[in-house]
Amino acid sequence: MEFTAQQIASLLEGRVEGDENIKVSKLCKIEQGEKNGLSFLANPKYNHYLYDTNASIVIVNEDFVLEGKVSPTLIRVKDSYSSFAKLLSIYNEYRFNRKGISSLAFIDKQANVDKDIYVGEFVVIEKYSKVGKGCKIYPQVYIGENVTIGENVTIYAGVRIYHDTVIGNNCILHSGVVLGADGFGFAPLSDGSFEKIAQIGNVVLKDDVELGANTTVDRSTMGSTVIEKGTKIDNLCQIAHNVTVGQSTAMSAQSGIAGSTSVGSNCFIGGQVGISGHIHVGDRVKIGAKAGVISQVKDDSAMFGYPATNARSYMKSFILFEKLPQLEKRISELEKQLKEKENR
């Protein structure tokens, strides 16, 4: 696909400075600019790249002041960063605008699948499942019995969705996601072995949830494991059975939440965070990377460390921790002086 500078400017409500008929066919970074490439400039640290980039068109802020001659055509907009983000979304829509159901897909006769969707090769959709309009289901996805999928949901290759799962509108599931595997429930027996506890609940994803690659959400023992509206979970995360994650919470890679824990809304959870089971984490909580949360957390808290503690207390403790070698040396010297005094 090719677009002229004038077409892009019209789309972004911007103004062309240079050749309005010049065409671009790809996106590129300004420091790695290529002919026929479209880039943007938002960070002042990258200003110097504008004067020697090979990009054909560069989007800049309308108040950007040139310090020399430039070869690319400029498109001046109110906010270059958000404008480029808009273009990326449009580019994705064109690139992933797939429709039609592959003849190599298996859809049970008792499944209810909207006609206005894309279903790739070797997809399996079991009986009683429902798929809403505008969905895109990429190759080798498995959708079990009685699954409900809303509208405009994107499910990338290799996702596995177990029976009874409910997925809202506008969700995105990246490759390798597993929804509805059994929760980790085992009863210890007197002989030291374990008896498996049946997990008869399900998983519910509300609208606008996005799950990263290879993230897993376990079905509940009874009831539902729930991810509320607008929550974003990174790659390689584990959500255990009967967990609830509140609205618009963000969780970074390799983090895990143990069973029957509830996490509030608008929380930020760093990478490799572990949250114990059967506790409550409040709303608007920030948890630093690699923290281990083992007890209740109040609203608006900031937590660091293992076991996780208040951010201020943690930083004070860490300052003392750094001074331990000096303190140990001073204690040794004091002990030596006391011993000499006793000998005298």
**What's the pLDDT tens digit per position in 192-237?**
999 999 999 999 999 999 999 999 999 999 999 999 999 999 999 9
Where do the domains of the chain lie? Answer: 3-95, 100-314, 317-344
Domains 3-95 and 100-314 share a fold: no
Query: Mean per-residue pLDDT for 158-187?
Result: 97
- The more confident residue out of 153 and 322 is 153
What sign for the dihedral angle of Cα 59, 63, 68, 69?
positive
> Is 3-95 in CATH node 3.40.1390.10?
yes
Residue with tokens 């505008």: 134
- Give the model confidence (pLDDT) of 235-253 as tens digits: 999 999 999 999 999 999 9
pLDDT of 65 higher than 80: yes
What sign for the dihedral angle of Cα 48, 51, 56, 60?
positive
How far is it, in rounded angstroms, from Cα 148 to Cα 165? 6
- Give the model confidence (pLDDT) of 98-130 as tens digits: 889 999 999 999 999 999 999 999 999 999 999
Please name the CATH architecture into which domain 100-314 falls: 3 Solenoid (2.160)
Q: At what angle do helices 311-322 and 324-343 cross, to 10 degrees?
A: 50
Q: What percent of the chain has pLDDT above 90?
A: 83
pLDDT of 321 higher than 80: no
Q: How confident is the model at residue 316 (pLDDT cuts 50, 70, 90)?
A: confident
Q: How confident is the model at residue 300 (pLDDT cuts 50, 70, 90)?
A: very high
Query: Mean per-residue pLDDT for 173-188?
Result: 96
Active-site annotation, residues: 241
Query: Mean per-residue pLDDT for 47-71?
Result: 94
